[in-house]
């Protein structure tokens, strides 16, 4: 329901607070290029922002994005005509992928641990999970605002990734409004 309302002006507003996406796209594209890897599955692709960023960094030919919001996917289809986008969640995905990407959907998922476990099982040998999301806020007002929008800021996500995978390059940064921190990075399948 929330994304049904938001989908039309999503891209023009999210640049103001979904920080770290461009850095993650670059980090991911560089890792895949260095390791001769190609296929990317994005869970919660929204309007396809990351696909466009990956393409700008030379990646995207082997990209598949999925999202449970058909409204967001309609916006995606109007902007990214060459790519496969599916209205689905991770349970319906088969095969293996060099990279499973999560750009800000995990804080919306109550079952994020299980989703990350499933993502890990979909990795090809030596593949990576790429994540960017909210990390922490010390502001009770901002926390209340996020709770209102059912966004669960949770430092546990990064720690859980460190547990099930091997961290390769991870970063915690403060947003420019200094109200919250976000994290991004890539984690490799344990070999």
Ligand X SMILES: C[S@@+](CC[C@H](N)C(=O)[O-])C[C@H]1O[C@@H](n2cnc3c(N)ncnc32)[C@H](O)[C@@H]1O
Q: Please state the closest distance from residue 104 (CB atom) to ligand X, in A.
A: 4
The values of phi and psi at residue 181, to 5°, are -110, 150
- Sign of CA pseudo-dihedral 127, 25, 91, 149: positive
Residue 43 or 129: which CB sits closer to ligand X?
Answer: 43
Q: Which residues pair with 41 in a beta bridge?
A: 64, 100
CA separation for the pair 31, 38 (Å, rounded): 10
Question: Which of 22/38 has CB closer to ligand X?
Answer: 22
Residues that bind ligand X (CB under 6 A): 3, 14, 18, 21, 43-46, 49-50, 66-69, 72, 89, 103-105, 108-109
Minimum distance from residue 132 beta carbon to ligand X (Å): 8
Which residue, 123, 64, 116, is CA-closest to 96? 123
Q: Rounded CA gap, 18 and 16, in Å? A: 6
How many C-beta neighbours within 10 Å does residue 147 have? 11
The nearer residue to ligand X, 46 or 127, going by C-beta atoms, is 46
Give yes or no for a contact between 48 and 65, defined as CB atoms under 8 angstroms apart: yes
Q: What is the number of helices (H) and of strands (E) in the chain?
A: 8, 7
Distance from first CA to last CA of the chain, Å, rounded? 40
Q: How near is the Cβ of 67 to ligand X at its closest, in Å?
A: 4
Instruction: Tell me the residue number closest to ligand X, measured at CB.
Output: 46
Taking the complex as a whole, the smallest distance from the CB of residue 119 to ligand X amounts, in Å, to 11
63 CB-contact burial (10 Å; exposed 0-12 / middle 13-18 / buried 19+): buried
- Smallest gap from residue 36 Cβ to ligand X (A): 25
Residue 187: CB minimum distance to ligand X, A: 17
Nearer to ligand X, 125 or 132 (CB): 132
């Amino acid at each position: 329901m929330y994304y049904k309302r938001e989908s039309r002006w999503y891209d023009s507003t999210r640049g103001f607070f979904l920080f770290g996406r461009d850095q993650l796209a670059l980090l991911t594209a560089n890792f895949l290029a260095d390791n001769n890897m190609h296929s990317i599955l994005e869970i919660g692709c929204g309007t396809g922002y990351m696909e466009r960023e990956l393409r700008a960094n030379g990646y995207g030919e082997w990209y598949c994005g999925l999202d449970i919001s058909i409204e967001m996917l309609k916006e995606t289809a109007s902007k990214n005509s060459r790519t496969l986008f599916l209205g689905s969640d991770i349970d319906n995905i088969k095969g293996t992928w060099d990279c499973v990407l999560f750009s800000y959907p995990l804080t919306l998922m109550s079952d994020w641990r299980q989703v990350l476990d499933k993502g890990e099982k979909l990795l090809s040998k030596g593949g990576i999970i790429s994540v960017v999301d909210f990390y922490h806020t010390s502001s009770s007002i901002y926390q209340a605002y996020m709770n209102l929008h059912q966004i669960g800021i949770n430092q546990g996500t990064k720690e859980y990734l460190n547990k099930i995978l091997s961290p390769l390059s991870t970063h915690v940064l403060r947003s420019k409004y200094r109200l919250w921190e976000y994290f991004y990075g890539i984690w490799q399948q344990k070999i």
